[in-house]
Amino acid sequence: MRNLHSQFGFTIVEILVTVVVIAILAAGIFSLSQSVDKRAKLDMAKAQLVIIDTALEQYYDFHGKFYDLAGGYSPNCDSDIEEIYYRLSLVPQAKKAIDELDSTLVINVDGDGILEIIDPWGQELYYSYSKANEDNFPLVWSSGPDANSSTAEQKQDDITNR
């Protein structure tokens, strides 16, 4: 005698295998997206430093020198990069250059009304220049993904304009 009921559907094993395959694919895609995101942030930081270099060159062309922080900060400025952003914004051509920065990376971090330039990881950039050696170009850098530049190991992921 023949069975009149035909069986349609999937077994529990087939369903579990499908779920496992989908989970493996999702993990691979997540891993790939993390890698792409990291690379995009590194590229954004490097591009940001190129724009700042251009603004510093415009500042130099306007004043005939680079700004030296040894003279202290302007009123309301309380960090190196805040002071540099303020100084660059006073020079018309340099302002045009810094206006090209991604607006999500130029923010008022400390609520004092003066904008700072931050890196893609949310940390303020650093600036260093000394009149003692006027042949040098100012150094601008990001502490990189680890957001720390304290030790030699931590400086390995720093991103600089030089």
Q: How far apart are CA 67 and CA 130, in angstroms?
A: 9
Lowest mean pLDDT among 18-32, 43-57, 101-115, 128-142: 128-142
Give one DSSP letter per residue of 38-92, joined into a string: HHHHHHHHHHHHHHHHHHHHHHHHHHSS---GGG-PPTT--SHHHHHHHHHHTSH
Tell me what pLDDT residue 2 has.
58
85: nearest Cα among 43, 127, 123: 127
pTM for this predicted structure? 0.76
Tokens representing 153 are: 């190991």
Q: What is the β-pairing status of strands 126-128 and 116-117?
A: unpaired
Q: What φ, ψ does residue 79 adopt, rounded to 5°?
A: -150, 160
Name the residue ranges covered by the structural domains of the chain.
44-160
Residue 139: pLDDT over 70:
yes
Q: How far apart are CA 86 and CA 82, in angstroms?
A: 6
Tokens representing 127 are: 């600036």
* 74-130 pLDDT tens trace: 888 888 899 999 999 999 999 999 999 999 999 888 888 888 899 999 998 999 887
